[in-house]
Structure 1
């Protein structure tokens, strides 16, 4: 059953905007004129506030600062930054120049960080001083990098640790008094972001987002969920992900509302932040909901202004969570690789809670079999998507044309997600057909973890797979075959992983095997490993049980 959103009123307009005018300079100038001194951003750690006018003028100043360093149209700039005012202004300033922002997961390090900086062809890196060590570890092996801009104070002795051929700049010097818009001509079709998502059968892919798509994403959310100009969105998810950036910040901008930003999620501080900011909206991930739910109940739990909370997924105790905290769940099915496609909103029936909702306006969706033939309602298959709105979906994978063609075969984007559509048109997610793991809200490439594990001197072969977690998501498990004569020191292997991959990728469970199960084509049958492990996790070595903690 093909699902189709409502017909479009005009092929070149969307939500009252002409698509060709959806560029960072035009939109921010328009919003500043409309909203003036209305607060757009409040940064909770230090109370900094930016009005819509401030956002436009300060990003103009920073754009001139970047331009003075030679950053211009088409420049690739990577950002290794925690949530901050300067991070968001950097995204918009680079957008005003027609430069390409490359947000990096702040947990990236070692081989993973080297790959991201090299593959993206970044010539400039903006890095928080607190994250400097992650850059310094690989600084001698980044031939394309020409400049590093440091946000925060960095002692001179630490600067000496890096490659001398790279120019080091202080971010605080990049705000000249000139607040006129930069003269660069920016087009709606210009590449605005390369955002890396989990590799599934290979290295992480850089998803290309155009200038227009970022604003269309925001408009789609605002329209699908009935967001208003008096809403305040509380953001504690990282702005290097589309959830917080395109899925919360851009839609607040497009609906003329406000955001309250925290540096990161804190279970102990979450509700006090929500109350003090007056937030009416927020986005949470499954593990965060479990953590909040597990805290002692209080009569004060309902003392908040939240009217909706976006969750992925909505837990089995979703209705009880809603009653306890006095809010309503909504759900968005959105992919970095494509954009938003489905929405479960406040007007949808409670009986459909837990579904991804119905297809959005302008989107077509199908459930297909392994040969791309459409399946009837209720049948399990892969979700495929396409869009009627020009520039509303991503532009493909950077420097990976084969992967782009494969994902878009037969004219539909293949999500790699398995599910079904019920008779009422609601999509229900079941599992992933791709070899990816989701842990603590992060998508993890089994391939990338395996690639690093294989470099350990004791490891001959390895298979990485997901097992059930106490937090309603996944834990990372690895089945390992040792080299002849070698013995595996599990604790030493974990220490090795800590230096070469993000903390959330480090396996929790390890299993040493004489060989891995394979089919007739010699492909590893991970489902057998997964099923056996889930049946009895006690048979696997558990780093948490061993008292080894891995954190950021």
Structure 2
């Protein structure tokens, strides 16, 4: 399917061609509203014109903090038409992390929902390159409203969205121009922004269509947030490539999921680990078997994947992808079902090896580090923005070292086996233990801390902190939570907290977190639990 000439692989050109090809066909469904391909293109052109009119130029970076709704889709398209770079920012970001995303990415503008204005106002002095803020008022706002920012031009979304369309003779983006900067969770202490070129995003959309069999008859449902790469790059762009329809939901709801799937007539969808578990543990219903779904992308494939297919009458597909690299393996609907726990085989465009600590291949079936490199130019990421030294450090002996562990079976199928990295996976969010530790260490009563995952209910990991107090200092768990909440995303704040006299260390001075986790999981009922204490966090 690699038939699009390289110089034509831009999202701007793909959008324009599909709008002309499909015209009145529905591209987006959103709670009773339907938008055609032509309407999506025209809305995007007007937003692009409005952004250009206030000074957003090709190559400039624009941060986005918006809840799911059609406007965020049009905004992504509009920035692509201009040739600007979208920087999706997790809506839970606040404090130093929000300032870091904005300043490290060199964003000259932020487009945000009104609900996030106060957060941005608090960090604006830390972002000297920020020149424009575009506010999307919420549905309850009546009449004009002023937002106070220093040395920043503030614009209202309606003025941007209703501007004259971007001129037809506007500069055309190149296949090599960066389209997106997607930030990692910062597993080495620094969140890294991976640069995705236009050609990479278009090629990835092609691979989804090719490997999963998407067609123009499909309705592709997503309830994942648009600031995650999955919603845009696994659903919206593949749907655009296939000439299919996107059904967009505001957010995931266990109780509403199957109803929404049925109401929109979805034929394809994606689920992350926590969502899979919540649906699996839910009481059975007629709705979960009366749908039109053909495939469901489940990442990672759960232990009950075969039973999942039988119960929900849907083919499970999967993949292995990395924010730092892109797509490496895919497991399609026609693969052998005895391989369903795998993430599929390496794509032809990717070389994948399982290596030991000396970068030597291990035997089939043995576990080692998953290492990647590309066989095709522009198929993978183009490095970390403003952090070239970390990009060089991640690549050794011509391999990108993922920090993930896995094995290849005798047929070449990849099985994920865990992570080397300081990464916690909580309900679909990747959390850097190092970043949480860095915040906790700022508390004057903390001498040392170890943050790690513990298994709680719903078959999911939760964040736990084991803390050593400074001599003579007093600190209780609730105070620690109050200290953390304004400085990190809500999902990063430890749920479980304990205090010890000292932490266990290896001979080389590394905290033995596996010992802490094992000991904690044997006595979870005795450990302080934020949720049991009734402390609620602002999202």
TM-score (norm 2): 0.96
- Residue by residue, what CA displacement relative to the aligned partner does 1:445-481 show, whole Å, maximum 9, x if unpaired? 1111111111222212111111113233321111111
Query: CA offset at residue 144 of structure 1?
Result: 2.0
- Residue by residue, what CA displacement relative to the aligned partner does 1:327-374 show, whole Å, maximum 9, x if unpaired? 111111111111111111111111111111111221111100011111
Residue 110 of structure 2 corresponds to residue 116 of structure 1? no
Q: CA RMSD in A?
A: 1.7
Q: Which residue of 1 aligns with 2:154?
A: 168
Q: Which residue of 2 aligns with 1:331?
A: 318
1:60–1:182 contact (8 Å) kept in structure 2: no
Secondary structure at the counterpart of residue 397 of structure 2: helix
Query: CA offset at residue 316 of structure 1?
Result: 2.2
- Residue by residue, what CA displacement relative to the aligned partner does 1:149-191 show, whole Å, maximum 9, x if unpaired? 001256899845x433211100111122336435123111011
Q: 1: distance between equivalents of 2:429 and 2:326? A: 17
Residue 126 of structure 2 corresponds to residue 141 of structure 1? yes
Q: Which residue of 2 aligns with 1:407?
A: 394
Q: Which residue of 1 aligns with 2:275?
A: 288
- Residue by residue, what CA displacement relative to the aligned partner does 1:217-260 show, whole Å, maximum 9, x if unpaired? 11111111111221111010011111111111111111111110
Secondary structure at the counterpart of residue 249 of structure 1: helix
Q: 1: distance between equivalents of 2:310 and 2:240? A: 30
Structure 2, unaligned runs of 5 or more: none
Secondary structure at the counterpart of residue 58 of structure 1: helix
Query: CA offset at residue 517 of structure 1?
Result: 1.7
Structure 1, unaligned runs of 5 or more: 1-13
Q: 2: distance between equivalents of 1:194 and 1:313? A: 24
Query: CA offset at residue 551 of structure 1?
Result: 5.2
Q: Which residue of 2 aligns with 1:37?
A: 24
Residue 21 of structure 2 corresponds to residue 21 of structure 1? no
Q: Which residue of 1 aligns with 2:340?
A: 353
Residue 129 of structure 2 corresponds to residue 126 of structure 1? no
Q: Which residue of 1 aligns with 2:36?
A: 51
Residue 499 of structure 2 corresponds to residue 477 of structure 1? no
Query: 1:514 and 1:383, CA in 2 relative to 1: closer, same or farther beyond 3 A?
Result: same
Aligned residue pairs total 536
Residue 216 of structure 2 corresponds to residue 191 of structure 1? no
Q: Which residue of 2 aligns with 1:10?
A: none
Q: Which one has more relative contact order, counting CA pairs under 8 Å at least 6 apart?
A: 1
Q: 2: distance between equivalents of 1:454 and 1:43? A: 44
Q: 1: distance between equivalents of 2:435 and 2:422? A: 11
- Residue by residue, what CA displacement relative to the aligned partner does 1:519-543 show, whole Å, maximum 9, x if unpaired? 2332222222223223332343221
Q: 2: distance between equivalents of 1:474 and 1:197? A: 19
2:349–2:379 contact (8 Å) kept in structure 1: no
- Residue by residue, what CA displacement relative to the aligned partner does 1:391-439 show, whole Å, maximum 9, x if unpaired? 1101111111121012221111211110111111111101001111110
2:48–2:166 contact (8 Å) kept in structure 1: no
Q: Which residue of 1 aligns with 2:511?
A: 524
Query: 1:107 and 1:158, CA in 2 relative to 1: closer, same or farther beyond 3 A?
Result: farther
Q: Which residue of 1 aligns with 2:55?
A: 70
Q: Which residue of 1 aligns with 2:483?
A: 496
- Residue by residue, what CA displacement relative to the aligned partner does 1:12-64 show, whole Å, maximum 9, x if unpaired? xx5321122111221111111221111111122xx332222222222112111
Secondary structure at the counterpart of residue 138 of structure 1: helix
TM-score (norm 1): 0.94
Secondary structure at the counterpart of residue 194 of structure 1: strand
1:331–1:345 contact (8 Å) kept in structure 2: yes
Query: CA offset at residue 545 of structure 1?
Result: 2.5
1:57–1:179 contact (8 Å) kept in structure 2: no
Secondary structure at the counterpart of residue 73 of structure 2: helix
- Residue by residue, what CA displacement relative to the aligned partner does 1:183-222 show, whole Å, maximum 9, x if unpaired? 1231110111111111112111111111111111111111
